Chain A
Amino acid sequence: MLWFKRLIWLGVAVAIALGAWGIFARLTTGHSEANYGSYVVWGLWVAMYLFFVGIAAGMFMFATLDLLFHVPLLRGTGRLALFLTLITLGAGLVHIWLDLGHLDRIWKVYLQGNLFSVMGQIVWGYTIFGLLTAFALLLTLDWFKTPAWLLRVVMIIGLGLAFFLSGAVGALLGVQIARPFWHIGLFPVQFPVFSIGSALALFLAVWAFFGPRSDARYARQIQVLAISVVVLQLIKTYFVWADFSQSMYGGVPMNVQAVEEVMFGQYWWAFWLLQIGVGTVIPIIILLVPQLRAHYWLAGAAGVMVLIGFAVARANIVFPALTIPEIDALANAFNDPRLQFNYFPSAMEWAVTLGILGLTTAAFLIAYDHLKFLKLKEAN
């Protein structure tokens, strides 16, 4: 496995180097090197924010299986899940922070915020959620003599928050009457499912690559994780089907155009090849066939594929709705590169995302190697 770890570290080093350039460019030249504009006003970073905070919320839900519901099969996985919650939450929040026009004004959301704004609620909610997760992790370390009920209470509150927040991320888009593609009741309902799905895929990957194979429960754990990921993928695909088929059947032009943009537009390949092919069909096959998933590296790779599919799915939620002009012919009304209805992330945007991904992975690798408490108590 040493070669595998070295390979990951090599990737991480390249990602961090690129990220350093991207973040430097972002901090010194503002948004001028980004490709989003005033029409497609949110780009890669917002999609990645949805992706990472979604994983964080789902990962907390997963942690409750051990720390609140005491599922025997998963005993000992809670701490690692809480740690993954924290670092993925960090990755999401850094993405959205760098997306702001005025980075220095973030404090205003806390001290002069509007709690009727879904975005305001989410910022407050995720901050409390992050603190709560850190507190829960601390409680699991047994460093202090704390009563067991305290952790239980913290996990119950956290579980509620995780559901509320992952739904609220859907509502962030769903409340907007301006975008029929987002403005459906199904949106906030889908997001908690997406969250659990992406979190389980990440945990499957981590467990398959780095988990304690000597543990007697290991094979069964991989099996349960694999089947759960498959079930959630099927539910996710059902949601996509329900959403798209209703839109097409209903025929509301802005809705139909957005769905067509996803399926047959400029980036059709992202939907069919990455989201459906790599992100759904192939991993489902791998995870369903016992002979295939018995190769743990293949099960781990399937987890990574599902994550790629989720990342593309997040992008396919954000961009298409914004690429449909609010008023026909608006695109030609005033010519400027920032007033276009097509978008592909710039090198700087990719670099920043890669950098954050690299740092998150590095944080995991270092912590997993050096923080003893993250290791499953396999001896138990």
Chain B
Amino acid sequence: MPVTSEQNVSAPSQTQDAPFAPQDVLLRMQADLKRALQKPAHERRWIMVIDLRKCVGCSACTIGCVVENKLPPGVVYRPVIEEEIGTYPNVTRRFLPRPCMQCDNPPCVPVCPVNATYQRADGIVEINYNQCIGCRYCVTACPYGARTFDFGATYSEGTPEAAGLILGQSAAQTMEREPNFEYGRAWPREGEASPIGNVRKCQFCIHRLEAGMLPACTTTCIGRATYFGDANDPQSLVSELIAQPNVMRLKEELGTAPKVYYLM
């Protein structure tokens, strides 16, 4: 029985690994993830499905992502684009979370003059921060505005200093200099070192995936509007979701073949 995005539960028959049923979609996706990780990387096809009817525009995913990846000011991986549609009295609002589409045919990849951005075997488009020269050619090549440049700013810049190490700028800066763990290694913010001076973007939280966890935005989404999993697994929730007529992808006509699907 196919599961519609309206339902928060899935049929027990489709989640052999699940310990109980009915099941929360997060648990279902967690089980899907576990199954996918047992396959070789090139047999996985990570995709994200976002149900626009369920998104309430709370931006919890945006903030979850900022916290998970310790994003500095001006760097955002998953903004939620808000649009007002119609005229009074027929007015509504649409919320469109926009992560990197992890395009199957990514225009950002061939333009890179030093091969710093490339597609992994599982389809995720990765950036090697230590290779990137910061030319920003890939930023101009992305049709979705999904890449941002790290100017090296911190949120605590220009904030008041207080005595001691618990309050004030130095305390906040200690926190801001903490490393993030993108791509499975620690990236402390020190001087001009990468990722400062590099282009950055959503990477489907590779570091979490490889530790068996769903992307931060998926677990943070309060509307359960974001789904994640392996499209090559016919039993996965995402495979079912994208086999519906109300699915669309952004700017498909450009031939980028995005791996982020929207349910309308």
Q: Using a Cβ–Cβ cut-off of 8 Å, how many residues does chain B contribute to the interface with A?
A: 50
Q: Mark B110-150, 1 if CB is under 8 A from A, else 0.
A: 11111100000000000000011111110111111101111
Alpha-carbon distance between A45 and B143 when the two chains are bound, in angstroms: 23
What is the predominant secondary structure among interface residues of chain B facing chain A? loop
- Does B242 count as interface, using CB distance less than 8 angstroms? no
Select one of A31, A113, A179, A328 contacting B140, CB under 8 A: A179
Contact B83 A101 (CB under 8 A): no
Contact B83 A328 (CB under 8 A): yes
Select one of B74, B132, B152, B196 contacting A337, CB under 8 A: B74
B80 nearest CB neighbor, chain A only:
A333
Residues from chain B with a CB closer than 8 A to the CB of A333 are 76, 79-82, 98
Alpha-carbon distance between A2 and B115 when the two chains are bound, in angstroms: 53
Contact A114 B198 (CB under 8 A): no
Say how far B118's CB is from chain A's closest CB, in angstroms. Answer: 9
In the complex, number of A-B residue pairs with CB atoms less than 8 Å apart: 152
Residues from chain B with a CB closer than 8 A to the CB of A143 are none
Contact A100 B113 (CB under 8 A): no
Residues from chain A with a CB closer than 8 A to the CB of B194 are 102
Residues from chain A with a CB closer than 8 A to the CB of B80 are 333
- Does A277 count as interface, using CB distance less than 8 angstroms? no
Contact B135 A101 (CB under 8 A): yes
Which chain B residues (192-239) contact chain A, with CB distance < 8 Å? 192, 194, 196-199
Residues from chain B with a CB closer than 8 A to the CB of A119 are 111, 113, 135, 137
A117 nearest CB neighbor, chain B only:
B113
A34 nearest CB neighbor, chain B only:
B151
26 A–B contact pairs at CB < 8 A? A30-B197, A38-B74, A41-B136, A41-B149, A101-B149, A101-B197, A101-B199, A105-B131, A105-B134, A109-B114, A114-B112, A114-B115, A117-B111, A117-B113, A119-B113, A120-B113, A177-B143, A177-B255, A179-B140, A325-B145, A329-B83, A330-B79, A332-B81, A333-B98, A338-B153, A339-B148
Contact A177 B254 (CB under 8 A): yes
- Does A249 count as interface, using CB distance less than 8 angstroms? no
Contact B142 A326 (CB under 8 A): yes
Q: Mark A300-343, 1 if CB is under 8 A from B, else 0.
A: 00000000000000000000001001111110111011110000
- Does B52 count as interface, using CB distance less than 8 angstroms? no
Alpha-carbon distance between A336 and B141 when the two chains are bound, in angstroms: 22
A123 nearest CB neighbor, chain B only:
B113
Say how far A376's CB is from chain B's closest CB, in angstroms. Answer: 40
Contact B141 A178 (CB under 8 A): yes
Are A113 and B143 CB-contacts (below 8 A) given A30-B197, A101-B133?
no
Alpha-carbon distance between A101 and B250 when the two chains are bound, in angstroms: 30
Say how far B221's CB is from chain A's closest CB, in angstroms. Answer: 16
Which of B74, B112, B151 has its CB near the most chain A CB atoms (within 10 A)?
B151
Alpha-carbon distance between A17 and B256 when the two chains are bound, in angstroms: 48
Are A100 and B254 CB-contacts (below 8 A) given A123-B113, A178-B143?
no
Alpha-carbon distance between A95 and B29 when the two chains are bound, in angstroms: 49
Alpha-carbon distance between A41 and B151 when the two chains are bound, in angstroms: 11
Say how far B21's CB is from chain A's closest CB, in angstroms. Answer: 38
Which of A101, A113, A172 has its CB near the most chain B CB atoms (within 10 A)?
A101
Contact A330 B145 (CB under 8 A): yes
- Does A37 count as interface, using CB distance less than 8 angstroms? yes
- Does A108 count as interface, using CB distance less than 8 angstroms? yes
Which chain A residues (166-200) contact chain B, with CB distance < 8 Å? 172-173, 175-179
Name the interface size band of chain A: 35 or more
Are A38 and B133 CB-contacts (below 8 A) given A30-B192, A176-B141, A327-B144?
no
Contact A176 B152 (CB under 8 A): no
B62 nearest CB neighbor, chain A only:
A334
Contact A101 B136 (CB under 8 A): yes
Say how far A12's CB is from chain B's closest CB, in angstroms. Answer: 30
Residues from chain A with a CB closer than 8 A to the CB of B255 are 177
- Does B188 count as interface, using CB distance less than 8 angstroms? no
- Does B107 count as interface, using CB distance less than 8 angstroms? yes
Residues from chain A with a CB closer than 8 A to the CB of B241 are none
Residues from chain A with a CB closer than 8 A to the CB of B135 are 99-101, 119
Which chain A residues (277-302) contact chain B, with CB distance < 8 Å? none
Alpha-carbon distance between A31 and B134 when the two chains are bound, in angstroms: 11
Residues from chain A with a CB closer than 8 A to the CB of B131 are 105, 108, 112
Residues from chain A with a CB closer than 8 A to the CB of B148 are 38, 338-339
Which chain A residues (138-188) contact chain B, with CB distance < 8 Å? 172-173, 175-179
- Does B2 count as interface, using CB distance less than 8 angstroms? no
Contact B134 A102 (CB under 8 A): yes
- Does B75 count as interface, using CB distance less than 8 angstroms? yes
Say how far A72's CB is from chain B's closest CB, in angstroms. Answer: 43
Say how far A148's CB is from chain B's closest CB, in angstroms. Answer: 38
Which chain B residues (180-194) contact chain A, with CB distance < 8 Å? 192, 194
- Does B168 count as interface, using CB distance less than 8 angstroms? no
Residues from chain A with a CB closer than 8 A to the CB of B75 are 38
- Does B22 count as interface, using CB distance less than 8 angstroms? no
Say how far A234's CB is from chain B's closest CB, in angstroms. Answer: 31
Alpha-carbon distance between A334 and B149 when the two chains are bound, in angstroms: 14
If A41-B149, A172-B137 are given as contacts, then 14 extra A-B residue pairs at C-beta distance below 8 Å, sorted by A number, are: A41-B139, A41-B140, A102-B133, A105-B134, A114-B114, A117-B110, A118-B111, A119-B135, A120-B113, A179-B140, A326-B144, A330-B79, A333-B82, A333-B98
B200 nearest CB neighbor, chain A only:
A38
B74 nearest CB neighbor, chain A only:
A338
